[in-house]
Amino acid sequence: MASKNSDSLWGSRFASGPSSEMANLSKSTHFDWRLAKYDLLGSRAHAEALAGKGYLNPEELTELLKAIDQLESRVDKGSFKPKDTDEDVHSALERGLIEIAGADLGGKLRAGRSRNDQIATEIRLFMIDAAEQIQSLLISYIEQLTIQAETHMGVAMPGRTHFQHAQPVLLAHHLLAHAWPQVRNLQRLEDWRGRASLSPYGAGALAGSSLGLDPSLVAEKLGLRAPEKNSMDATSSRDVASEFLFICAQIGIDLSRFSEELIAWSTAEFGYVQLSDEFSTGSSIMPQKKNPDIAELTRGKTGRLIGNLTSLLTALKGLPLSYNRDLQEDKEPVFDSVDTLVVVLPAINGMIKNLIFNTQRLEELAPAGFSLATDVAEWLVRQGVPFKNAHEITGQMVSKCEELGVGLEDLTDKQLAEISKELKPEVREVLSVSGSIKSRDGVGGTALPRVLDQLMELRKIAPRTDLEN
């Protein structure tokens, strides 16, 4: 029979402690210890709330806060760590506090709170701090894209749909198309923060507290907006965590899409871009290789981010109210997604910063694949031809070029007239990449003035730091 664990936060009604098998399954200090900082923050705020209602006198409050400070110092230095007998971060830190303050004073802190409302609050505090770090890295990502766009402002390239040549666009326009999704992710994180900044503290195990403590005081001390409205919801819901994981996954997906392009662009077949030696790897057997490992790892780790979201959603599905131990599974996916983005984003930012674009190759391929055909069709529309007819005429023009093995711009006046009397020699004014790009000056278009508009907006979000001083 296992012996009772004197350090446990529960067990007085049990004849024995948990079996070793039960203890091993239940133990969470190997991952939730990174919440120690937030647990101690909550303990300080909770001590203030207890003192506010007279459960701690001023001297006791002073001594308890001093003991929490000492414990935090030991945690920071690594001199206090969880023991094998500690079930979780909460039990470990209470043990540490009692070691410093004594059982009588240290034991008072548990009144009016539960691990249920503690952990629900602590994971929010962790995610709020992590969100700030991720936002900073996303801003750097946007900055690197805008710098590359600014550097290659006049360069044209093939724009694609279905991965086939479609219409020419500015390289800057294409690069900035990868910036805007991350702007939306920044907005998502900011919007999420409003929901995450409500405090479950004071909800107790599920029904609230009968001690009259002020949860608003605790929320204020923790930098949160207000207490949650429903104690059961506060302790048993993790939609704030799943929403956070969705945003992390979406960030990864948007990074992965650009990574996929960079992998293709760096091949000999495309030849669009050359990777920096610092941000690529070689082969153990093929000396000539330069591999886009950062892009590949980003693409691969995005699956991990999606998996973390799926893991938590699956754990939450079908859980009855209120708290269930299944909710212990919320932390590792959150920690892993944060850790993943914090290592991926600096790497891909460095890769983007050091990309070398083959501008000659991009310019050469911009008109390939009859990418100016839409310009011809729209020119015909401006001449009064219904678009249905214009589309058919342009299609016949492409077919003729394929037959002859020439480009649209190579057709003679006679050949144009044979296709349609509407194809006058003046159509040649749109048969240039520069003309095509210049014409697309509507809002959001690839024309240079519109790209400059984008840059101005993005600079408000991600100013250039490389020009400071």
Of the candidates 26, 283, 399, 434, the residue annotated as catalytic is: 283
User: What is the total residue count of the chain?
Assistant: 469
- Could you give the CA distance from residue 256 to residue 92 in angstroms, rounded to a whole number? 40
283 is catalytic: yes
The catalytic position among 3, 6, 30, 162 is 162
How crowded is the C-beta side of 154, counted as CA atoms within 13 Å?
3
For the chain, the first-to-last Cα distance in angstroms comes to 70
**Catalytic: 173?**
no
CA atoms 26, 31, 36, 37: torsion sign: negative
Active-site annotation, residues = 162, 283
